[in-house]
């Protein structure tokens, strides 16, 4: 029998805060390898940037303010599929709010959603139509953040999809719901559409679950497909080192990052630098304190090893959209200019058979809800406007 959800409030112990600051004070940084002029991130995280970030984390960052920002939203935990699943459940303000499952990915967390949730739940407060309101359920993905406890079982994307479908229908009682996500959240939304279509009103994503292999490119290619092949080849050569180590030796890397907050910050900040639509400075796209809130949540929960597991499961199991299946529920997509990969619609249509909306955005990157909350909220509202009951 499923237990009833119980209210949750985040409260990190003072002793854990003191331990973090003490560890940061003892940081031993590597030397900076000589880099090409003007390219301090050429070989990974800039040591100068990391040193400055650690100094701010230790002396200027206010964790309690970030903790309070999260606690301003109603939060719950429920024992589900063998773990205590954490989620935000924010009621919509409108005549008939649609339930929306909002999902982050790696190396993200529910901290990505603090600015977009009010726009989705109370559009009238931002000059919008209250009929566009959603009731937002934003879980910490199983194995991530506040949905992690030491020793718990690990989850691949199909497992995550099954767990969240159970949350939405079996626990919260929504017969059908909308889903939105980027990164693994986009993959989970796609997996839900393929394996739980009867529960879905539709899905909106900002990262497509399109396979990344040469079999996509048989026969004559359009100009757009040729562009994507080059983009993908560069990505596979230069940008996937993190996937290989997380997907093959997650436990080894976890030992380093669970013990060193500086190492954890270097590993995650590099992705914020590479994947956001910035001018060379992460902070031109995402505030330093919000990025640190995300990193700090990983630190305090000790979840980094479990957060790697979808990579291991993908490398050692089936693609998240199972062979022979397609996503047949209505789908909407936002293509942000600094997304890690941008497959063309012709390739997406092989996996998604009912593409209703395809929008090329003007600005933003991989962490769309964090970088461009107003633009993403408007797109989500526009897509689901014609699908509401």
Q: Examine the residue annotation and report whether 259 is marked as an active-site residue of this protein.
A: no
Q: What is the pLDDT along the chain (389 residues), one digit of tens a residue?
A: 568 999 999 999 999 999 999 999 999 999 999 989 889 999 999 999 999 999 999 999 999 999 999 999 999 999 999 999 999 999 999 999 999 999 999 999 999 999 999 999 999 999 999 999 999 999 999 999 999 999 999 999 999 999 999 999 999 999 999 999 999 999 999 999 999 999 999 999 999 999 887 777 777 788 898 899 999 999 999 999 999 999 999 999 999 999 999 999 999 999 999 999 999 999 999 999 999 999 999 999 999 999 999 999 999 999 888 888 999 999 999 999 999 999 999 999 999 999 999 999 999 999 999 999 999 999 999 999 999 86
Parent domain of 322: 6-25+41-385
The C-alpha torsion from 142 through 169 and 134 to 102, rounded to 10°, is 20
Q: Examine the residue annotation and report whether 312 is marked as an active-site residue of this protein.
A: yes
Q: Which of 86, 104, 204, 366 does the annotation list as catalytic?
A: 366
Q: Is residue 104 part of a domain?
A: yes
**How many Cα atoms within 13 Å fall on the side-chain side of residue 143?**
24
Q: Is residue 35 part of a domain?
A: no
- CATH number, position 303: 3.40.50.1820
Q: Which of 115, 122, 159, 183 does the annotation list as catalytic?
A: 183
Name the one residue in this structure whose structure tokens are 């070989």: 43
Q: Is residue 34 part of a domain?
A: no
Q: Is residue 284 part of a domain?
A: yes
Long-range pairs of 217-223 with CB within 8 A, sequence gap ≥ 24: 222/344, 222/346
Q: Is residue 56 part of a domain?
A: yes
Q: Is residue 30 part of a domain?
A: no
The C-alpha torsion from 24 through 27 and 31 to 37, rounded to 10°, is 0
β-strands 83-90, 134-139: how paired?
A: antiparallel
Q: Is residue 143 part of a domain?
A: yes
Which pTM does this prediction carry? 0.97
Separation CA 186–CA 59 (nearest Å): 36
Separation CA 248–CA 280 (nearest Å): 31
Overall number of domains in the chain: 1
Q: Which of 19, 242, 312, 354 does the annotation list as catalytic?
A: 312
What's the pLDDT at 1?
Answer: 57
Q: Is residue 32 part of a domain?
A: no
- Helix 288-301 vs helix 261-275: crossing angle, to nearest 10: 140
């Amino acid at each position: 029998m499923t237990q009833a959800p119980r209210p949750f409030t985040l409260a990190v112990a003072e002793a854990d805060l003191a331990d973090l600051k003490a560890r940061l004070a003892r940081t031993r940084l590597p030397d900076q390898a000589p880099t090409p002029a003007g390219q301090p991130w050429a070989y990974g995280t800039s040591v100068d940037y990391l040193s400055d970030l650690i100094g701010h984390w230790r002396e200027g960052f206010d964790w309690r303010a970030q903790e309070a920002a999260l606690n301003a939203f109603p939060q719950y935990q429920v024992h589900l599929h063998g773990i205590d699943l954490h989620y935000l459940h924010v009621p919509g303000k409108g005549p008939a709010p649609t339930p929306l499952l909002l999902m982050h990915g790696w190396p993200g967390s529910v901290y990505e959603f603090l600015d977009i949730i009010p726009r989705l739940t109370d559009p009238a407060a931002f000059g919008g139509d209250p009929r566009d309101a959603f009731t937002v359920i934003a879980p910490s993905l199983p194995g991530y953040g506040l949905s992690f406890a030491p020793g718990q079982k690990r989850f691949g994307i199909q497992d995550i999809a099954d767990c969240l479908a159970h949350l939405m229908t079996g626990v919260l009682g929504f017969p059908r719901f909308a889903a939105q996500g980027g990164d693994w959240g986009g993959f989970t939304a796609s997996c839900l559409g393929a394996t739980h279509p009867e529960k879905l009103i539709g899905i909106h994503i900002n990262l497509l679950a399109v396979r990344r292999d040469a079999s996509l490119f048989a026969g004559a290619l359009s100009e757009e497909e040729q562009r994507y092949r080059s983009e993908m080849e560069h990505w596979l050569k230069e940008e996937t080192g993190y996937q290989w180590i997380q997907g093959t030796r997650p436990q080894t890397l976890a030992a380093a990052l669970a013990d060193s907050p500086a190492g954890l910050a270097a590993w995650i900040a590099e992705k914020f630098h590479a994947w956001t639509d910035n001018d060379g400075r992460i902070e031109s796209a995402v505030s330093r304190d919000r990025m640190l809130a995300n990193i700090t949540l990983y630190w305090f929960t000790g979840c980094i090893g479990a957060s790697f597991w979808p990579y291991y499961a993908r490398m050692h199991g089936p693609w998240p959209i199972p062979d022979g299946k397609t996503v047949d529920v209505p789908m909407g997509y936002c293509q942000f200019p600094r997304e890690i990969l941008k497959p063309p619609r012709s390739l997406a249509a092989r996996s998604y058979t009912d593409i209703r909306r395809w929008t090329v955005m003007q600005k933003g990157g991989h962490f769309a809800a964090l970088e461009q909350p107003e633009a993403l909220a408007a797109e989500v509202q526009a897509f689901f406007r014609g699908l509401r009951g």
